[in-house]
Amino acid sequence: MLYAQLRRTAGASVLALALVAGCGSAPSGEQPTEAAATRVFAADSGQVTVPADPKRVVATGYAVPALIEADAALVGISTWKRGLPLMSEEDRATYDRLEKVAGEAAAETNYEAIAKAKPDLIVIGVPAPVLADVDMERLKSIAPVVAIGPTIPSAWRELSQRQTDVAGRAANFGQAKTAYEKKAAELAAKYEDALAGVKFGHVGSYGEVAKGTFQREFAGSWGTNIAQDVGITYYGQVKEKGGGSSDVSEYPSIEELPKSLGEADAITYSVQPDGTPNEAVKYVLDSPLWKNLPAVKAGKAFPIRYTEAATYDSALVTLDAVDQALAPLAAS
């Protein structure tokens, strides 16, 4: 793994750490058993008392890649298919080995499997609205439950740090962040002149062909937030913010393509790990309206792979993909 033994000082933590001592007198001739150390953690759902050093952790959703990379004491995870292409061989081996106690959707939670795993901490990494699909009370009867879910896509930075922290692996976070920021700064310097004054738009992967829509992603969305760290400027904003990812992306009809992206000097678009567009993006690329966009006619449409990164390690892969995508722009 990329992580080294780097830990923030204890004084930097905003979380209170307390030792919970056992109560009552020990039987004659026996030493009293000291209870495990705990601390109070600020979760999305409020203050939760958790183990200071969890020994058996279950993770779901966005917590899965973060805690695998942090080498947390995982005993069960949800599936996380979208992140598999971004995993190192070592992390993928860990993912494959771990018991799958939930599916891709929060509603696909196997409570019996979680109980069987005997966790001392459960980290739920799903968006707040999706928590309604989880029986939180049932989970709380098994172990302390900490919900740390995403808001807008770019929030993975703070999100992964909090998830790593609650799992007792704060020391394993800093080096990947530093490596990412160093590489992003190098690429920003490399493309500074080429990107100066250029307005970008982005086409995302989640349009619905059956409905005749495409996904326009703005700053802070999946396809844009890492490219922004390299210096790309995405213009515009959603017409109506609906919370979460809908604050940074919208789904116009394909007929609105000229209006939505007609002002772009350049356009990026999400593609699959093998470089091919999925059905939703291909629908846009095959449209005559796409071919007539000023940026496309000028040869300034750039595919970007690996736009699903949600950790600093995986985002390093995305930075490589952005560098590859922008190479023609730098050469022009």
pLDDT tens column, 152-166: 999 999 999 999 999
Whether the CA torsion 298, 304, 307, 311 is positive or negative: it is negative
Mean pLDDT of 60-77: 97
Taking the C-alpha atoms of residue 308 and residue 156, their distance in angstroms, rounded to an integer, is: 10
pLDDT at 45: 79
pLDDT at 14: 33
Q: Which residue has the tokens 């439950």?
A: 145
Q: For residue range 19-43, list pLDDT tens digits in order.
A: 333 334 444 444 444 567 999 999 9
Mean pLDDT of 299-307: 97
Mean pLDDT of 209-237: 98
pLDDT at 35: 64
Beta strand spans in 95-208 (E): 100-102, 121-125, 145-147, 199-204
Q: How many other CB atoms are found less than 10 A from the CB of residue 183?
A: 17
3-state helix, strand, coil in the chain (%, to 5): 40, 20, 40
- Give the pair of three-digit tokens for residue 34: 């000291």
* Backbone angles phi and psi of 233, in degrees to 5: -110, 120
pLDDT at 206: 96
Confidence band for 4, pLDDT divided at 50, 70 and 90: very low
Q: Which residue pairs, CB below 8 angstroms and at least 24 apart, start in 41-47?
A: 41/15, 41/146, 41/165, 41/166, 42/14, 42/15, 43/146, 43/147, 43/148, 43/166, 44/128, 44/147, 44/148, 44/149, 45/131, 45/136, 45/145, 45/147
Residue 98 is given by DSSP the state S
Estimate the crossing angle of helix 156-166 against helix 312-331, to 10 degrees.
160
Nearest to 78 by CA among 104, 52, 56, 96: 104
Taking the C-alpha atoms of residue 93 and residue 90, their distance in angstroms, rounded to an integer, is: 5
Percent of residues, the chain, with pLDDT higher than 90: 81
Tallying the residues shown for the chain, one arrives at 332
Strands 266-270 and 199-204 turn out to be: parallel
Nearest to 6 by CA among 171, 164, 167: 171
pLDDT at 242: 83
Q: What is the residue-averaged pLDDT of the chain?
A: 90
- Give bridge partners of residue 60 from the DSSP assignment: 124
| 72 burial via Cβ count (<10 Å: 0-12, 13-18, 19+) | buried
Strands 37-43 and 199-204 turn out to be: unpaired
Taking the C-alpha atoms of residue 304 and residue 320, their distance in angstroms, rounded to an integer, is: 10
Residue 7 is given by DSSP the state -
Helix, strand, or coil (residue 18): strand
Pairwise pLDDT comparison (7 vs 323), residue with the higher score: 323
Q: Say whether pLDDT at 307 is over 50.
A: yes
pLDDT at 34: 56
**Least confident among 10-19, 102-111, 163-172:** 10-19
Q: For residue range 92-103, list pLDDT tens digits in order.
A: 999 999 999 999
CB 147 within 8 A of CB 124: yes
Beta strand spans in 93-242 (E): 100-102, 121-125, 145-147, 199-204, 215-217, 233-234
